[in-house]
Amino acid sequence: MSEPTGLRARKKERTRDAIGDAAVSLFLERGFDGVSVNDIAAAAEISKPTLFRYFPTKEDLVLHRFADHQGEAARVVRDRRSGIKPVTALHRHFRAGLDGYDPVTGLNDHPEVVAFHRLVFTTPSLAARLTRYQLEDEEALADALGEGIQARLQAAQVLAVQRVLARTNWQKIADGRTARDVHPEAVTDADQAFNQLR
């Protein structure tokens, strides 16, 4: 099933994970600006140049978790079964994320996850960089949807919807509610939003 991973690939992935995990846990502990890249490199037991070989900027040390979902929307559209409309496929995918309490839907009450979201949303440079990721995502989705202004508009709207839904869910959880408790209204919100898109 899984590709025949050589030693090289396996170790690279491990190093990447080690850096990312060390970074996030330090950030959650002392805040984005309270941690230097030197600290992270030391914690991950790698050198500074190596760190920057894996992550181009300090921000990416946080956002790689979003970056890993990069292009997901476009993929969902491309891989949909024939006869299914793009928006429907995206709707179902989001719904599945909700049911699985996927962190990207905002519907996850693990303390670490909610702290992580707070970190991202309350650190300006991170929020800024995040929107850049979302723009790239939007372009990819637009390409998957077709050409012309119609596709671009729809892509923008879909991602805007997802963004709002995720933030809404996260906000409710940040206010102290549990994911299971919020789940029903998250579903109806999503149904309503996606239905309006059609």
Partner DNA sequence: GTTACTCGGTTAAAAAAGCAACCCGGTCAA
Partner DNA sequence: TTGACCGGGTTGCTTTTTTAACCGAGTAAC
Dihedrals phi, psi of 69, to nearest 5 degrees: -95, 5
**Contact in structure between 174 and 135 (CB atoms under 8 Å):** no
- Positions touching DNA (CB under 7 A) are 6-9, 11-12, 15, 35-38, 45-50, 52-54, 56-59
Q: Is 197 helix (H, G, I), strand (E, B) or coil?
A: helix
Could you tell me which stretch among 19-27, 44-52, 119-127, 186-194 binds its own copies (CB under 8 A)?
Answer: 44-52
Which option in DNA, its own copies, none does residue 83 bind, with CB closer than 5 to 8 A by kind?
A: none
Q: Which is nearer to DNA, 46 or 156 (CB)?
A: 46
Closer CB to DNA, residue 63 or residue 73?
Answer: 63
> Which of residues 5, 11, 21, 127 is near its own copies by CB under 8 A?
11
What residues have CB less than 8 Å from 64, skipping those under 6 apart? Answer: 20, 55
- Give yes or no for residue 46 binding its own copies (CB under 8 A): yes
CA–chain centroid gap for 140, Å, is 15
Note whether 37 binds its own copies by CB under 8 A. Answer: no
Q: How far apart are CA 1 and CA 8, in angstroms?
A: 19
For 180, the token pair is: 């299971």
In the complex, which residues of this chain contact its own copies (CB under 8 A)? 7, 10-11, 45-47
